[in-house]
Amino acid sequence: MQSASHPKIILILGSAPDVVRSREWQRAPFHEIVAINNAWRVRDDWNHLVHAGDFPAHAMPEKEIATGRSIHTAADYVPAQNAYGGFVYAGATMSLTTAYWVLHALKPDVLAFLGCDMNYDNEGPTHFYGYGNPDPLRSDITLQNLEAKTGRLLVSAARQGCLCVNLSHLDSSRLVFPRVDIGRLRDWSMMDVKVRIGGLLQRIDKAKLQHAENTEKALGYYFPTGEYWLFLDQIDGSELRCLDSLWLAALGRSEANDECGPCDI
């Protein structure tokens, strides 16, 4: 049982090459470990596997490995994503989808990410197992600005009492979460988490945040089945770019474009 003084920290593992750093880590301070797609191969003590609908059957863990763990598909994460506004606003890539599922189902105090930087600029293997498809960089109307989408997640989590952090040592990341070293994370108390969440929420521009949320409601891009690609004729990409700009502006990010007219609806 989690002590009242110790935060519930959940680790999400993606498939970027540096995810293998986690093999050197002890289980503490993680309450649970969630693997995305092939990342179940990184460590043998994961608790949950969340995989995409097109994840091949041959890449799934064998029955004896999966025993005693939970495996989650769209039947689980579509309702979770819907609880936070749906795929169009949250972003339809597995790092984000998994994160919203964790927020909804496991309710952590800290959500720590490794191997989820969504950065494919460096030469060499794209994934820890070699080369794979850089899914977050595909041409998708929900993924026009990854920084904005991760910023929305950061705010959504903080308002729920959860701090998103990035354990990566890479020079660059599409995640806008604060960077934390695993050594420091082990020493955090619940008070440490609350202070950091409070500081984050205080820095958010409340008026711009309200503008972003009002814009989401006004646009009405909500499709309960999660199959937003069947309704692309109803979604305006320029409106979504402007919405992304509003989320960045709420966080004080310099990429934001305050002159974006289509959001004034």
Q: Where are the domains of the chain?
A: 9-203
**Cβ contact 242:263 at 8 Å:** yes
Is the Cβ–Cβ distance between 149 and 164 less than 8 Å?
no
The pLDDT tens digits of the residues spanning 175-234 come to 999 999 999 999 999 999 999 999 999 999 999 999 999 999 999 999 999 999 999 999
* Cβ pair 124, 175 in contact under 8 A: no
Residue 11 parent element (H or E): strand 9-13
- Our CA angle for 238, 239, 245, nearest 5°, is 90
pLDDT in tens, 139-184: 799 999 999 999 999 999 999 999 999 999 988 899 999 999 999 9
Confidence of residue 130 (pLDDT cuts 50, 70, 90): low
Tokens 């004034």 locate to 264
Structure-model confidence comparison of residues 265 and 125, the more confident one? 125
The pLDDT-based confidence of 258 (bands split at 50, 70, 90) is: very low
Q: Report cis status (omega within 30 of 0) of the bond before 29.
A: yes
Task: Give the pLDDT confidence score for residue 262 in this predicted structure.
Answer: 37
Q: What percent of the chain has pLDDT over 70?
A: 88
Give me the amino acid identity at 11.
Answer: L
Mean pLDDT of the chain, nearest integer = 91
Structure confidence at residue 135 as a pLDDT band (50, 70, 90): low
User: Is residue 138 within 8 Å of 120, Cβ to Cβ?
Assistant: no
Instruction: Look up the pTM and report it.
Output: 0.91
With a cut of 70, say whether residue 36 has pLDDT above it.
Answer: yes
Residues 6+ apart with CB under 8 A from 5: 189, 190, 191
